[in-house]
C-alpha cells in the first residue's frame, strides 16, 4: 500500500461510536494519520486530544454533499493523500415491509447507500491519481442474507454489495482495491439508538417481523461480536498481501452466510433443467 512517511492515511466516516470509533482508535494507535469524522465532532474530542498530531477531526454528515467535498479537500490538504477510505456511517430500521415508513427508509438509503456512494466518488479522483488505495465498505451479513423485519435495511446493504463488487472490477486495473466488510451482530449502538422502527400496526406480522424486531432490540448490548477485535481484523485485512473482496466478521455471520450459500445452491441445482430450458434450442 502507498504511504506518506511510511504511514498510510485513513479516512473514516461515523466515528462517534461503534466500528468507526474502534477503527479510528486502532489506526491512530498504529501511528497512522487518520481523518476522523462525525456529525457531531465534539464526540471525537478524546481521540483528538490523545492524537493531536495524527488526527484530523472533521464534521461530516454523509447526507451533506458540501461537507463530503469539504472534508475530502481538507484531508488531502493536510495529509497529501488518502490511502484508505472507510465508509462506515450507517443506521438500521426494523419493521415488516408493509409497515415500514417510506420517508424513514428513504433516509436510511440516503445514509447507507447514497452517502457511501457520494463519499467514494469524492475520494476516487485522488486514489486514481495515486494509482493506489483501498475503499472499505461496511456492509453487513445482512448484505448477503435477508431476514424478516429487515427488508429495507437488507436492501441498503445488498445495494452496497453490488456497488462494491462492480466497483472492485473497475478499480483493480487502476491499483485500487475494494473490501466489503460483513459483520454479524456486534456490540455497538446500531441495534439501539442507531435504528428506528416501524409502528407495529398489523397483527399478521407478530410472529415474523415483530418477533425479529423484539429479538434484535433484546440483544442490543449483548451481541457476541467485539468491535475492537473487528477493527483489528479490518486493519489487518486491508494490510494483507491478497485481501479478499468480502470479509465476514463473527461466527453468526459465517453461519448465516453459509445458510445463504446452501439455499442458493438448492434453488440453482433443483431448478437447473427449467433454468437451462429457457434458452433457444442450440444448433
Ligand atoms: P453505531 O455505534 O450506531 O455507529 C453508527 C455510526 O454512524 C455513528 O457514528 C453515527 O453517528 C454514524 N452516522 C449515522 N448517520 C450518519 C450520517 N448521516 N452521517 C455520518 N455519520 C452517520 O453502529 P455500528 O455498528 O458501529 O455501525 C457502523 C456500521 O456497521 C453501519 O454501517 C452498520 O450498518 C454496520 N453494521 C453493524 C452491525 C452491528 O451489529 N453492529 C452489523 C452489521 C453491519 P451519530 O453518533 O451522529 O449518530
Q: Where do the structural domains in the chain lie, given as residue ranges?
A: 10-275
Instruction: Give the pLDDT score at 2.
Output: 43
Is 51 tagged catalytic?
A: no
Kindly compute the dihedral angle of the four CA atoms of residues 134, 140, 145, 149, in this order, to the nearest 10 degrees: -150
For 55-109, write each residue's pLDDT tens digit.
999 999 999 999 999 999 999 999 999 999 999 999 999 999 999 999 999 999 9
Residues with beta carbon inside 6 Å of ligand 1?
13-14, 16-20, 38-40, 60-63, 88-91, 111, 115, 138, 140, 183, 185-186, 188-190, 194, 223
Contact 86, 23 (CB under 8 A): yes
Q: What percent of the chain has pLDDT over 70?
A: 98
- Whose Cα sits closest to atom 20 in ligand 1? 61
Closest C-alpha to 136, from 107, 106, 171, 110: 171
Instruction: Give the pLDDT score at 6.
Output: 85
Instruction: Give the pLDDT score at 5.
Output: 65
* Residue among 190, 212, 218, 224 whose CB has most ligand 1 atoms within 8 A, to mutate: 190
Cell (9 digits) for 66: 458540501
What does the chain come to in residues? 283
264 by DSSP, 3-state: which?
Answer: helix
Q: What angle do CA 144, 148, 151 make, to 5 degrees?
A: 60
- What is the distance of C-alpha 73 from the center of its chain? 22
- The CATH number given to 10-275 is 3.40.50.720
Cell (9 digits) for 247: 470479509
Helix (H) or strand (E) holding 92: strand 92-94
Instruction: State the distance from the centre of ligand 1 to the C-alpha of 191, rounded, in angstroms.
Output: 10
pTM above 0.85, yes or no: yes
Amino acid at each position: 500500500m502507498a504511504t506518506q512517511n511510511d504511514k498510510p492515511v485513513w479516512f473514516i466516516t461515523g466515528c462517534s461510536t461503534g466500528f468507526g470509533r474502534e477503527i479510528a482508535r486502532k489506526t491512530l494507535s498504529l501511528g497512522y494519520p487518520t481523518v476522523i469524522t462525525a456529525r457531531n465532532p465534539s464526540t471525537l474530542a478524546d481521540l483528538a486530544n490523545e492524537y493531536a498530531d495524527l488526527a484530523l477531526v472533521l464534521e461530516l454528515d454523509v447526507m451533506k454533499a458540501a461537507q463530503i467535498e469539504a472534508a475530502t479537500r481538507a484531508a488531502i490538504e493536510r495529509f497529501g493523500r488518502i490511502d484508505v477510505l472507510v465508509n462506515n456511517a450507517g443506521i438500521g430500521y426494523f419493521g415488516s415491509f408493509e409497515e415500514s415508513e417510506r420517508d424513514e427508509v428513504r433516509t436510511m438509503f440516503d445514509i447507507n447507500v447514497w452517502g457511501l456512494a457520494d463519499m467514494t466518488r469524492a475520494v476516487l479522483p485522488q486514489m486514481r491519481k495515486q494509482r493506489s488505495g483501498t475503499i472499505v465498505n461496511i456492509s453487513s451479513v445482512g448484505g448477503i442474507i435477508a431476514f424478516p423485519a429487515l427488508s429495507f435495511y437488507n436492501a441498503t446493504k445488498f445495494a452496497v454489495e453490488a456497488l462494491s463488487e462492480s466497483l472492485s472490477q473497475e478499480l483493480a486495473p487502476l491499483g485500487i482495491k475494494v473490501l466489503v466488510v460483513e459483520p454479524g451482530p456486534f456490540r455497538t449502538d446500531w441495534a439501539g439508538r442507531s435504528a428506528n422502527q416501524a409502528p407495529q400496526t398489523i397483527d399478521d406480522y407478530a410472529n415474523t417481523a415483530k418477533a425479529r424486531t423484539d429479538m434484535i432490540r433484546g440483544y442490543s448490548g449483548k451481541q457476541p461480536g467485539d468491535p475492537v477485535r473487528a477493527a483489528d481484523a479490518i486493519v489487518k485485512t486491508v494490510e494483507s498481501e491478497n485481501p479478499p473482496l468480502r470479509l465476514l466478521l463473527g461466527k453468526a455471520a459465517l453461519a448465516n452466510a453459509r445458510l445463504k450459500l446452501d439455499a442458493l445452491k438448492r434453488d440453482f441445482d433443483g431448478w437447473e433443467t427449467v433454468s437451462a430450458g429457457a434458452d433457444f434450442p442450440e444448433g
